[in-house]
Amino acid sequence: MKTTEIIHHIPQSQQRQYLLVPFEMPAATERVEIAYAYPHNQNVPLEAQIGQFTQKERVNRIDLGLIAPDGSQVGASGSSREVIFVSTTEATSGYHPNPLNPGTWQVMIGAYVVATEGVDVTIRLTFTPKTRRWLKGDLHTHTLASDGILTLEHLARHAREHGLDFIAVTDHNQPVLRASFPKVEGLTIIPGMEWTHYQGHANFFGIEKPYEGSFFSNTADEATNKFRQARENGALISINHPLESSFGFHFDLDVIPWDLIEVWNGPMRPRNIETIAWWDQMLKTGKRQVAVCGSDYHQDTVFQRLANPTMNVLSWSASEGDILEAVRAGHSYFTYSPTDLQVTLDVEGKTYGDSVRWRKGLEACLHAFGLEAGDQVKLIDQDGERTLFSAPSQGTWQAAQPVSKPGYIRLEIWRTFYPGLPMLPALVTNPIWFEK
Ligand SMILES: [Zn+2]
Ligand SMILES: [Zn+2]
């Protein structure tokens, strides 16, 4: 935490003016707290019928506000609050959560009432830096706005009760406005849309209006144009359930702009295993393709549940921007539920989605948590797949694994979910890359 104090003198001649006090927002700030103090009253001794009376007289009244570098009002609180905060996801009432971009911000002080001798206003700024943390979420959900059965508010509460930190709302061909989002403490809602076409489905994340006009298109060129517009408008684009038999993706992936592949859609089943293998082939040819997962939640059924699978992302904050940046970079792994099952990978401070220069003697440090008896930890690289470890019982496992050559490494944990049935992936990570 970093604290700065500014003392700003206001002469009485500036009474009734709005004054701006600039300050620099440090890079990578998650939260700023602004406290201000000044002498409010002056004691005036007065003659009384008996003895002496001291009158408390309001001599200064100063208002507070905050202005972002682009000149927009982040908030204003009159003289009613002595401390306010703004973070990337939350803020004091009267202020908006805001990305705390580095640059020159301004505290607005309104000199409503100023004493004859002027007033010193002490402004104390406390900056909390961002710290990286793992967040759990679901990038593929439907509500009543398409063919889900929950309102967005109900879905958001359901997500929080399941321990999720974020959801993307991705109704079929229905964009959604951030202003319509319910407030659920601890949950970040990401605007999205599942572009849904007879020839394929794709999620557009982080955007309210992906393209002009309507979703439909009867030619590949028109479809490509929708994707281009969405990309230009800032959408992160995921190709959904690409190999699904009735809803597979049939547009040309070499022509259409896209960023991510949804390799794990809904409950783990043979189609997802095929899709993971298809993605892995891309990795083997050196294509640095980032994968995502999503439950495609519509309602709770025997098979379908919210956050089955769960997207685990290593994010700098719980803001929409930081979560989507972590998704884009592949700083993520997928689990069958918001479980404790986790495997961290550390190669000289780098992890999933990162790139490291390869050298002889390089080691990958693995640390698996939440293992159940029989769980198998598998390592997949450009040469194939091998089981590194089978858990003898519940527990955690730690190991250093040599990185024998340039290429990539990714991890999977397989589990027997039902006795007698084949093992299935319970966890799948994005790759880390090793450059020549
Ligand atoms: Zn779909
Ligand atoms: Zn869907």
pLDDT digits (tens, 9 = 90+) for 122-151: 999 999 999 999 999 999 999 999 999 999
> Both 353 and 330 in a single domain?
no
- At a CB cut-off of 8 Å and minimum separation 6, what does 9 contact? 118, 119, 120, 121
260-305 per-position pLDDT tens digit: 999 999 999 999 999 999 999 999 999 999 999 999 999 999 889 9
Q: What is the pLDDT of residue 276?
A: 98
> Both 227 and 110 in a single domain?
no
Closest ligand to C-alpha of residue 140 is: 2
Rounded Cα distance between 383 and 286, Å, is 12
- Compute the distance from residue 142 Cα to the ligand 2 centre, in Å: 6
> Both 9 and 118 in a single domain?
yes
Q: What is the pLDDT of residue 354?
A: 98
Percent of the chain predicted with pLDDT > 90 = 96
Q: What is the pLDDT of residue 302?
A: 87
What is the chain's alpha carbon radius of gyration, rounded to the nearest angstrom?
27
- Compute the distance from residue 124 Cα to the ligand 2 centre, in Å: 48
- Compute the distance from residue 327 Cα to the ligand 1 centre, in Å: 19
- Compute the distance from residue 141 Cα to the ligand 2 centre, in Å: 6
Which of 322, 339, 356 is the endpoint of a domain? 339
| Tokens of residue 278, six digits | 């298809």
Identify the bridge partners of residue 415 per DSSP, sorted by sequence position.
424
* List of long-range contacts for 417-420, beta carbons under 8 Å, 24+ apart: 417/336
For residues 323 and 313, the answer to whether their CB atoms sit within 8 Å is: yes
Going from the C-alpha of 130 to that of each of 92, 187, 323, the distances in angstroms are 19, 17, 13
Q: Where are the beta strands (DSSP E) in 295-336?
A: 310-315, 332-335
> Both 204 and 291 in a single domain?
yes
> Both 193 and 282 in a single domain?
yes
- Compute the distance from residue 201 Cα to the ligand 1 centre, in Å: 5
Domain containing 37 — which CATH number? Answer: 2.60.120.380
Rounded Cα distance between 313 and 137, Å, is 8
Number of structural domains the chain divides into: 3
Rounded Cα distance between 21 and 62, Å, is 13
Q: What is the pLDDT of residue 32?
A: 98
> Both 195 and 331 in a single domain?
yes
Closest ligand to C-alpha of residue 169 is: 2
> Both 295 and 164 in a single domain?
yes
pTM of the model: 0.90
- Compute the distance from residue 420 Cα to the ligand 1 centre, in Å: 31
59-72: b or e for each residue (b if 16 or more CB lie within 10 Å)?
bbbbbbbbbbeeee
> Both 360 and 282 in a single domain?
no
- At a CB cut-off of 8 Å and minimum separation 6, what does 243 contact? 271, 274, 275, 278
Closest listed residue to residue 199, CA positions, set 217, 211, 226: 217
Does the pLDDT of residue 173 top 90, yes or no? yes
Q: Three-state DSSP class for 38?
A: coil
Does the pLDDT of residue 362 top 90, yes or no? yes
Closest ligand to C-alpha of residue 141 is: 2
Percent of the chain predicted with pLDDT > 70 = 100
357-385: b or e for each residue (b if 16 or more CB lie within 10 Å)?
ebeeebebebebebbbeebbbbbbbbeee
- Give the residue carrying structure tokens 């685990």: 312
Does the pLDDT of residue 211 top 90, yes or no? yes
Rounded mean pLDDT of 229-240?
A: 97
Least confident stretch, 44-48, 295-299, 315-319: 44-48
Closest ligand to C-alpha of residue 247 is: 1
For residues 33 and 85, the answer to whether their CB atoms sit within 8 Å is: yes
74-124 per-position pLDDT tens digit: 999 999 999 999 998 999 999 999 999 999 999 999 999 999 999 999 999
Looking at every residue in the chain, the average pLDDT score rounds to 96
Confidence of residue 340 (pLDDT cuts 50, 70, 90): very high
Domain containing 380 — which CATH number? Answer: 2.60.40
Q: What is the pLDDT of residue 303?
A: 86
Rounded mean pLDDT of 339-361?
A: 96
> Both 304 and 206 in a single domain?
yes
